[in-house]
Amino acid sequence: MREFYTITELTREFDISTRTLRFYEDEGLIAPVRRGRTRLFRPSDRVLIKQIMRGKRLGFSIAEIREIIQMYKTPPGEAGQLHTIVEKVEEKRAELRQKRKDIEETLAELDAVEEACVNRLAEMRVAS
């Protein structure tokens, strides 16, 4: 595994702009190290970017993505904190299950649309 990635390497891999990566740094989602002023992204930053993109595809806001990422960094905190995290995890899971349900429903409706189209096309071929 490579030690570092440049910013443009990552913009190409994830098809995003440098502005976007700098914005995510401003937002505290990633924290690449520096050589002088130049950012050097470690594999762990790359993983974070993957998680960010996944969050974006699911329609989560930056704030929500930040929350999710924070959960991954579970600190070995005290009991109360751990309970809070477990609760937050359960909340997010509920949201995700809702989204999954929404997806299944939409997929089913699209299946119906396609079937209707195909049937219509079949009719047209018979009629001609």
Partner DNA sequence: GACAACTCTTACGTAAAAGTCAATTATAAT
Partner DNA sequence: ATTATAATTGACTTTTACGTAAGAGTTGTC
What residues line the site for a second copy (CB under 8 A)?
Answer: 54-60, 68, 71-72, 74, 76, 79, 82-83, 85-86, 89-90, 92-93, 96-100, 102-103, 105-107, 109-110, 113-114, 116-118, 120-121, 124
Look at the alpha carbons of 93, 72, 15, 37 in this order and tell me if their dihedral is positive or negative: positive
Does 18 contact DNA by CB under 7 A? yes
* Pairing verdict, β 33-35 and 38-40: antiparallel
Query: Of the two residues 9 and 123, which places its CB atom closer to DNA in the complex?
Result: 9
Query: Of the two residues 50 and 83, which places its CB atom closer to DNA in the complex?
Result: 50
DSSP E strands: which ranges in 12-101?
33-35, 38-40
Minimal distance, residue 34 CB to a second copy, in Å? 29
- Within 10 Å of residue 86's Cβ, how many Cβ atoms? 12
Burial class from Cβ neighbours inside 10 Å (0-12, 13-18, 19+) for residue 52 reads: buried
Looking at residue 122, its amino acid is A
When binding is defined by CB under 7 A, the residue of 28, 33, 61, 99 that contacts DNA is 61
Q: With CB cut-offs between 5 and 8 Å by kind, which of a second copy, DNA, none does residue 103 bind? A: a second copy
